[in-house]
């Protein structure tokens, strides 16, 4: 039986585990990457953001990853890796629906909200067809000289002094190492919860405010929403970007729907149900999907000819999406953000949060592995990840509480857009290492504003009063002119400057 000695073993070869493996390998560490699945495989969670792309670009620059760097923008991605399916994401678009009613719009855009994130298609953010991107990154890790194992299960961890033994059980391939000996373990297994199960880490999901679930798939032949609007005589001339080249949200009382359009004209779509306002229906995924479409005639029209193309088994339905663990790191281990906690697809925080975690954890491991300050650095990493999960939970749950009242919802999203645009601008202007937490989660003053406004949201104050208070509350942090009545819900200047 052969054993393999490495510095870091990463369990979970999704994009997060693979990206960290690439970075650590480029810094000269010996790395093993293990996934229990086999690429390419279907994964949900596809919409990137300006923060995700800023961090991706910086990581590729700092660790010299020229083959991955083009993924930071739609234009360079198309030029370098056109075979990896992606989509243009110029921003976030939201449309309000009433049960049983057609979609209606007015000159004030009181049922629409569009917030630009990028100023041109070339410089645009992207939707990632994850099965393509994850497989590509996993191959890059192998090419960089790390040991990669697919179709491989890791057994119980055994510690021998400062070394940790991980038994490997391979699927079909023979003559592979049956044990890893490592100095450090990273858990990038997401909902697989590799370390939480082995270290019996307490589950703190009950502390989260957000409580949601979803039914989703990828579809072909979904009519573009812009075409639906125009076919009903609704003017889209004031939209700052094509509303389908976006993370498109249909919002209603009790939930919302995402639509992400890829350049192969397939669409990732899912209905998200707020479990704080209703029980999971006792229906098959297909029957549930049809029941959502029956509720919203305009969305039903969009999906009149649609058919599921991915995943192979058809529509998937989930239980509660959220998770939060009591710990995110210890003396010889750490979890990537998506393993330590996850909130919801709303605001597309997952990819950006994962990349921020990779940036921070990579610095710690490269500088401190084998040194006395490793433990204190990991405590700081844990504190930061936990603060970020709390911030995302506040921003997302506030929006859920406002769904059904679109003006209140649109005002509530301003907290997220303030945090995101403020982080982006500060990062763009910074020189040297950028340290603040994702979405300003470690800024006490900002946290107090978000907590206060999320409480106000749930109190019976008038919309005029709420808008006024929100505008005043975000002002010290707002760098792009949000909560502007003159914008009439069409925000063009929020787009990140081209860089």
Ligand X SMILES: Cc1cc2nc3c(=O)[nH]c(=O)nc-3n(C[C@H](O)[C@H](O)[C@H](O)COP(=O)(O)OP(=O)(O)OC[C@H]3O[C@@H](n4cnc5c(N)ncnc54)[C@H](O)[C@@H]3O)c2cc1C
Smallest separation (angstroms) from ligand X to the CB of 148:
12
Tokens coding 395: 């921003």
Closest distance of CB 343 from ligand X, Å: 9
Nearer to ligand X, 40 or 297 (CB): 40
Q: Decide whether 63 or 258 has the Cβ nearer to ligand X.
A: 258
- The helix-helix angle for 350-368 and 50-62 (nearest 10°) equals 30
- The binding site for ligand X (CB under 6 A) comprises 11-17, 34-37, 43-47, 154, 188-190, 192, 194, 214, 270, 321, 336, 338, 345, 348-352, 354
CA dist., res. 432 & res. 494, Å (int): 25
10 Å CB burial of residue 351 (0-12, 13-18, 19+) is: buried
Cβ partners under 8 Å of residue 1, min gap 6? 178, 179
CB of 260 to ligand X, least distance (A): 7
Q: How many CA atoms within 13 Å lie on the side-chain side of 414?
A: 33
CB of 412 to ligand X, least distance (A): 19
Chain length of the chain: 499
At closest approach, how far in Å is the CB of 232 from ligand X?
A: 27
Pairing of strands 163-170, 112-116: unpaired
Measured from the CB atom, is 37 or 167 closer to ligand X?
37
Instruction: Assess contact for 188 and 37: CB atoms under 8 A.
Output: no
What is the token pair recorded at 238? 């004031």
Which C-beta is closer to ligand X: that of 34 or that of 470?
34
Between 45 and 404, name the residue whose CB sits nearer to ligand X: 45
Q: Which is nearer to ligand X, 151 or 484 (CB)?
A: 151
Minimal distance, residue 471 CB to ligand X, in Å: 28
With vertex at residue 90, the alpha carbon angle to CA 191 and CA 242, rounded to the nearest 5 degrees, is: 120
Find the shortest distance in angstroms from Cβ 47 to ligand X.
3
List the structure tokens of 356.
């921020």
Task: Select 25 or 408, whichever has its Cβ closest to ligand X.
Answer: 25
In whole angstroms, give the CA distance from residue 89 to residue 242.
Answer: 9
């Amino acid at each position: 039986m052969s054993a393999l000695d490495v510095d870091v073993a990463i369990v979970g070869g999704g994009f997060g585990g693979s990206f960290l493996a690439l970075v650590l390998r480029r810094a000269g560490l010996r790395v093993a990457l293990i996934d229990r699945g086999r690429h390419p495989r279907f994964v949900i969670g596809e919409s990137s953001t300006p923060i995700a792309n800023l961090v991706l670009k910086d990581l590729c620059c700092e660790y010299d990853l020229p083959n991955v760097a083009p993924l930071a923008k739609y234009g360079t991605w198309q030029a370098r890796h056109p075979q990896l399916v992606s989509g243009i994401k110029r921003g976030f678009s939201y449309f309000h629906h009433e049960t049983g009613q057609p979609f209606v719009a007015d000159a004030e855009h009181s049922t629409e909200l569009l917030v630009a994130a990028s100023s041109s298609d070339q410089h645009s953010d992207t939707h990632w067809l994850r099965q393509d991107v994850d497989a590509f990154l996993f191959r890059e890790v192998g090419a960089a000289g790390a040991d990669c194992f697919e179709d491989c299960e890791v057994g119980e961890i055994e510690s021998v002094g400062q070394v940790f033994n991980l038994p490997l059980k391979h699927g079909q391939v023979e003559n592979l190492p049956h044990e890893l000996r490592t100095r450090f373990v990273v858990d990038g297994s997401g909902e697989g919860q590799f370390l939480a199960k082995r270290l019996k880490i307490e589950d703190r999901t009950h502390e989260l405010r957000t409580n949601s679930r979803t039914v989703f798939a990828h579809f072909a032949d979904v009519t573009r929403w812009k075409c639906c609007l125009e076919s009903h005589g609704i003017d889209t001339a004031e939209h700052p970007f094509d509303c389908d080249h976006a993370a498109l949200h249909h919002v209603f009382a009790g939930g919302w729907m995402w639509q992400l359009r890829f350049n192969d004209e397939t669409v990732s779509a899912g209905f998200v149900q707020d479990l704080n306002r209703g029980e999971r229906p006792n229906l098959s995924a297909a029957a549930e999907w049809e029941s959502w479409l029956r509720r919203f005639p305009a969305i039903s029209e969009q999906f009149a000819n649609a058919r599921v193309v991915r995943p192979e088994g058809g529509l998937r339905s989930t239980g509660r999406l959220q998770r939060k663990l009591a710990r995110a790191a210890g003396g010889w281990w750490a979890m990537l953000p998506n393993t330590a906690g996850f909130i919801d697809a709303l605001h597309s925080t997952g990819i950006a949060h994962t990349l921020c975690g990779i940036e921070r954890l990579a610095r710690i491991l490269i500088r401190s592995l084998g040194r006395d300050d490793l433990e204190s650095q990991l405590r700081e990493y844990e504190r930061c990840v936990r603060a970020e999960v709390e911030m995302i939970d506040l921003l997302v749950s506030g929006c859920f509480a406002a769904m059904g009242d679109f003006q209140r919802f649109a005002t509530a999203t301003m907290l997220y857009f303030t945090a995101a645009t403020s982080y982006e601008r500060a990062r763009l202007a910074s020189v040297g290492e950028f340290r603040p937490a994702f979405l300003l989660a470690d800024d006490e003053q900002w946290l107090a504003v978000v907590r206060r406004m999320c409480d106000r949201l749930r109190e019976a104050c008038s919309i005029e009063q709420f808008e006024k208070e929100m505008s005043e509350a975000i002002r010290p942090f707002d760098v792009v002119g949000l909560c502007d009545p003159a914008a009439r819900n069409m925000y063009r200047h929020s787009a990140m400057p081209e860089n």
